[in-house]
Amino acid sequence: MRRRPRSFCLRTPEPRGASEQGMGTTAETTLALRPLGSSDLRLTAIGFGAWAIGGGDWEFAWGAQEDTNSVRAIERALDLGLNWIDTAAIYGLGHSEEVVARALQASPHTPYVFTKCSMRWNPGDRTIYRALNRRSVREECEDSLRRLRRDTIDLYQVHWPNPESEIEEGWETLAQLQAEGKVRYLGVSNFSVAQMKRVQPIAPITASQPPYSLINAKVEDEVLPFCLENNIGVINYSPMASGLLTGKMTAERIAGMPEDDWRKRSANFKEPKLSRNLRLAALLGEIGQGHGVNAGVVAIAWTLHHPAVTAAIVGARDPGQVDGIMPAMTFRLSEAEYARISDWVRANPA
């Protein structure tokens, strides 16, 4: 396997109160920056995932969410040195992008902002559909720029390769938007190797955004080796399995989730898988305890151990959750700890 590209370092001042939150007690914290594929983007090891902060009342919502909490969560993450945000037009049907813009409006920080296209909605009944034709992608890009209040998107990603017959047309349109300066770099999400091979000759893929966690590690077989081999950056999503591996999830919490929290419908949050997944979270918590970090941080670190992974996208809904996950910026597992977790997963298949 090829080694991880050279890291860069960012010296970032420690914000007030950070030492109480487990970010260390020195005056400065050193954060390694990682190049995203062949681009000039340099990412912190974790980025802020803005799905849940899209708010409630749509097909893939996470229940209700206060915008003030979302804005404070983003502010806190940026104050602690995180330098990129991942959102999508579909999160909250445009609302997540608006919240990101609100958080950045008066911010002293200038994080990279990544968003996505291909999932659209009917404004009337809020039903979702997929489109990657030229007209649709252009319209989506303009809408995202307007909601984000920006002139350019740092990484524009095709959210899902659907409709599959339109992926070449969609990718060509992304390349045109890049030539026009509306987007800086192009990414795919949820693409197979065969689908990446279809678009690669049209324009280079800077990054791939696959699901990758201890609960869903399927991309280890083909997608991650392909990205490593082709210098395509990887920003993996749901590294804590959408909250399942934080150490705070319980069967009681799931039972009490609102009807518009998509996790209520997910097999991973139901028996027979749930008990096994919570036992895994307990193991991560036990390992984390020895280092003063929570189970979620260990789950994220397990994904960052793979040499193809550039950085992990981590969701948070308030500043307290941000404080809980920020140690993942620097925390790394020893080889023995990594092997212990991987062995447990092999011995306890889902």
Ligand X SMILES: NC(=O)c1ccc[n+]([C@@H]2O[C@H](COP(=O)([O-])OP(=O)(O)OC[C@H]3O[C@@H](n4cnc5c(N)ncnc54)[C@H](OP(=O)(O)O)[C@@H]3O)[C@@H](O)[C@H]2O)c1
Give all strands of the β-sheet with 28-35 in edge-to-edge order: 8-13, 28-35, 42-43
In the chain, DSSP assigns E strands to: 8-13, 28-35, 42-43, 46-49, 84-86, 112-117, 119-121, 128-130, 153-158, 183-189, 207-209, 233-236, 311-315
156 catalytic per annotation: no
CA atoms within 13 A on the CB side of 159: 20
Quick note: the x/- pattern for ligand X over 84-103, rule CB under 6 A, is --x-----------------
Q: Minimum CB separation from ligand X for residue 326, in Å?
A: 9
Left, alpha or beta for 292 (phi > 0: left; psi -120 to 50: alpha)?
Answer: left
Q: Using CB under 6 A, which of 215, 313, 329, 341 touches ligand X? A: 313
Q: Minimum CB separation from ligand X for residue 296, in Å?
A: 6
Helix (H, G, I), strand (E, B), or coil: what is residue 43? strand
Q: Minimum CB separation from ligand X for residue 238, in Å?
A: 4
Q: Minimum CB separation from ligand X for residue 51, in Å?
A: 3
Query: Which one from 91, 156, 212, 237 is the annotated catalytic residue?
Result: 91
- Asked if residues 198 and 168 have their Cβ atoms less than 8 Å apart, the reply is yes
Give ∠ CA 117-118-120 in degrees, rounded to 5.
100
Tokens found for residue 141 = 């890009």
What whole-number distance in Å separates Cα of residue 33 and Cα of residue 44? 5
Q: Identify which range of 125-133, 266-274, 310-318, 330-338 contacts ligand X by CB under 6 A.
A: 310-318
Which residue type is seen at 196? Answer: M
| CB-nearer residue toward ligand X: 50 or 148 | 50
Q: Identify which range of 72-80, 170-178, 318-326, 332-340 contacts ligand X by CB under 6 A.
A: 318-326
Q: Identify which range of 9-17, 36-44, 68-76, 315-323 contacts ligand X by CB under 6 A.
A: 315-323
Residues 6+ apart with CB under 8 A from 54: 61, 62, 65, 90, 91, 92, 93, 95, 96, 99
Which residue type is seen at 257? Answer: M
Q: Identify which range of 75-83, 132-140, 217-225, 232-240 contacts ligand X by CB under 6 A.
A: 232-240
- Report the site for ligand X in 240-279 (rule: CB under 6 A): 240-243, 246, 248
| CB-nearer residue toward ligand X: 209 or 310 | 209
Q: Does 49 bind ligand X (CB under 6 A)?
A: yes
Residue length of the chain? 350
- Asked if residues 310 and 233 have their Cβ atoms less than 8 Å apart, the reply is yes
- Report the site for ligand X in 117-176 (rule: CB under 6 A): 159
| CB-nearer residue toward ligand X: 39 or 238 | 238
- Number of residues interacting with ligand X: please give it, by CB under 6 A: 28
Q: Does 76 bind ligand X (CB under 6 A)?
A: no
- Report the site for ligand X in 170-209 (rule: CB under 6 A): 189-190, 209
Catalytic positions are 91
The residue ranges that bind ligand X (CB under 6 A) are 49-52, 62, 86, 159, 189-190, 209, 237-243, 246, 248, 296, 313-317, 321, 324-325
